[in-house]
Structures are given as structure tokens and as C-alpha cells.
């Protein structure tokens, strides 16, 4: 007489649970390759750029925005995110733009540039190191994108911010 094997009961996960698990697995897989800021400088998260994650009605986009907020420095594309979410890349692109109000690429670029501006203000890291820390492998490309978005080079931005900060300190005295 054969004994029936006992299998654990199958738990049915909701789409929300599946999405959360997929992003968790991807984050764990990327942990080893994450770039970190050196010099012991601490950098606060960017709540203004990831605040949409909490307020949006679309849970898929909320998950993507939260994921981008933590992993913006990685090589992330719509095709990768679509394979995680199970959505067609073209549909995901349209859904992202409708929900967030800007394209995926523009959002990711703005997120990276805002983080770079923060690092330029709060650290003494070289521009090339900041480029790498925010997800740009080519410092020259970072320089071009930064100048296009802000109207000034990373070095000029840092000098202006430091000058503005110095003037405010003198006024306060």
C-alpha cells in the first residue's frame, strides 16, 4: 500500500503580494552590486521624488516608484520592469506616464539628477564619483545630462550652492 505524500497547503497570493515579492527578489539580487557613497557622508532620501508611491491609486506604479527610489543608481529599464510586473513594456510606459505625469525615462533621469544635486551640495565627492553613485557609468554623459537639466555644469552648480550657503551664513551672523 502506497502512502500519499503530504504537501503543504497552497497559498494563493494576490497580485499585490506577487508584485511585492518580485520587487523584493529583484532588490535582493541587486544588493551585491549596489554602489555606495563614500567619505562617510550621509544623504537623506528624496521624499519629493518618490512621494507618488504612497499617493497613487495604481499599485503597480506605486511599487515601481518605490523600487526606483531605492534602486535608481542601477541599470533599470522598462523591459526589466515589465518582466517583473508581467505587463507589456508599451502598456507599462503608457500606464506610468498617465499615473505619474511624465515618462519613465524622464522620471528616472530627474530622480538621478536630484540625487546628484544633493550629493554635490552635501559632499566633496568628485563629479565622476557622483555620476557613478547615481547610475551613470559615463561621467561625460552625466555632465551633459546634468547641464541640460540644470543649465549649469556639476562644478558650477556646486560652486553656486556653496556661495549661496556662505552668503546665508554671513547674513545670519
Q: 78 near 138, Cβ under 8 Å?
A: no
- Residue 122: HSE in the Cβ half-sphere, 13 Å Cα cutoff: 15
In a domain, 64, yes or no: yes
In order along its 173 residues, the chain shows pLDDT tens digits of 555 555 556 666 655 565 666 666 655 554 444 444 444 444 444 444 344 444 434 788 888 999 999 999 999 999 989 888 888 999 999 999 999 999 999 999 999 999 999 999 999 999 999 999 999 999 999 999 999 999 999 999 999 998 887 666 556 65
In a domain, 2, yes or no: no
In a domain, 5, yes or no: no
- Phi/psi for 46 (5° steps) reads -100, 80
Give the pTM. 0.68
In a domain, 81, yes or no: yes
In a domain, 111, yes or no: yes
Retrieve residue 4's grid coordinates: 500519499
In a domain, 9, yes or no: no
Q: What CATH number has the domain bearing residue 85? A: 1.10.10.60
Closest CA to 61 of 39, 84, 40: 84
Question: Which domain, by its residues, includes 95?
Answer: 15-23+43-172
Cα-Cα end-to-end distance for the chain: 91
Domain count, the chain: 1
In a domain, 3, yes or no: no
Amino acid at each position: 500500500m502506497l502512502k500519499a505524500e503530504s504537501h503543504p497547503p497552497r497559498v494563493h497570493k494576490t497580485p499585490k503580494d506577487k508584485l511585492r515579492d518580485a520587487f523584493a527578489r529583484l532588490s535582493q539580487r541587486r544588493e551585491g552590486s549596489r554602489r555606495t557613497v563614500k567619505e562617510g557622508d550621509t544623504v537623506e532620501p528624496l521624499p519629493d521624488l518618490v512621494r507618488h508611491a504612497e499617493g497613487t491609486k495604481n499599485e503597480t506604479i506605486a511599487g515601481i516608484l518605490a523600487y526606483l527610489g531605492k534602486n535608481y543608481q542601477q541599470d533599470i529599464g522598462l523591459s526589466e520592469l515589465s518582466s517583473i510586473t508581467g505587463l507589456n513594456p508599451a502598456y507599462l510606459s503608457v500606464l506610468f506616464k498617465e499615473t505619474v505625469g511624465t515618462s519613465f525615462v524622464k522620471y528616472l533621469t530627474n530622480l538621478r539628477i536630484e540625487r546628484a544635486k544633493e550629493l554635490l551640495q552635501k559632499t566633496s565627492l568628485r563629479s565622476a564619483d557622483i555620476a557613478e553613485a547615481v547610475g551613470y557609468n559615463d561621467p561625460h554623459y552625466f555632465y551633459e545630462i546634468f547641464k541640460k537639466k540644470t543649465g549649469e555644469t556639476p562644478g558650477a552648480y556646486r560652486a553656486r550652492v556653496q556661495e549661496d550657503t556662505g552668503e546665508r551664513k554671513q547674513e545670519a551672523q
